[in-house]
Structure 1
């Protein structure tokens, strides 16, 4: 009988500790939405663009004045023609290899590979072209809007 009471006491403690740990994990997982917002990958809305890319606005609105942050996904074998933007843009290559060129002479043979983890600045009103070769690439772009893109006149 005494052994049964000891086993029962141990089991109650194990259940109590397990319940305490479980509730602690639940409490720790709840974050104050006034302090932090999280969007998991499946919650990010991607929109298809002409020319073989997709974009997802994370912060702001690129079409309006002010700070914006967007993700841009270049699909394999797609790239832009020479163009410029009115303001500086700051780009981090998140994944894949991004291929970039400068000037109005569009030549895919002159594209330079930029690996994931790299940081690039596109200066306002300077002509460039870019995209992806054999695999998709994802970029994070931030700048000050309104973000415009102006096609460059070919030489």
Structure 2
């Protein structure tokens, strides 16, 4: 049985629950995160750890990132969904280029912090990509927000 292949960038930290949700629902999940210990923790928590493909990677290292993404797509097929917690617009644009070259149609969910709600970053997405921005909320604690 062919399973959909999902890429979660920041999937061992901020988007850990998303990584777990996708794997629990039968997706193959390639997860980008920098810390091996967090990858181990993710796999230990996963109901289906065999569906987790850990990519210990700094997404700003584009040459290594490209190799890892292509290798993942060769093994599990093109990405149908990308969930991104990427603060670097050039890195996200690089990822979009790589995924678009290997996927006929896919969805990008760009997760942004609440501070970015008022920023107007112009992200160029190709016609084979459906893009949605998700803005995180915040809570007020004393005289500050987080």
Q: Which has more helix, going by share of residues?
A: 2
Q: Which has more strand, going by share of residues?
A: 1
By relative contact order (CA 8 Å, sep 6+), the higher-ranking structure is: 1
TM-score of the two chains, using structure 2 as the length reference: 0.26
Query: For the pair shown, which has the larger CA radius of gyration, 1 or 2?
Result: 1
TM-score of the two chains, using structure 1 as the length reference: 0.25
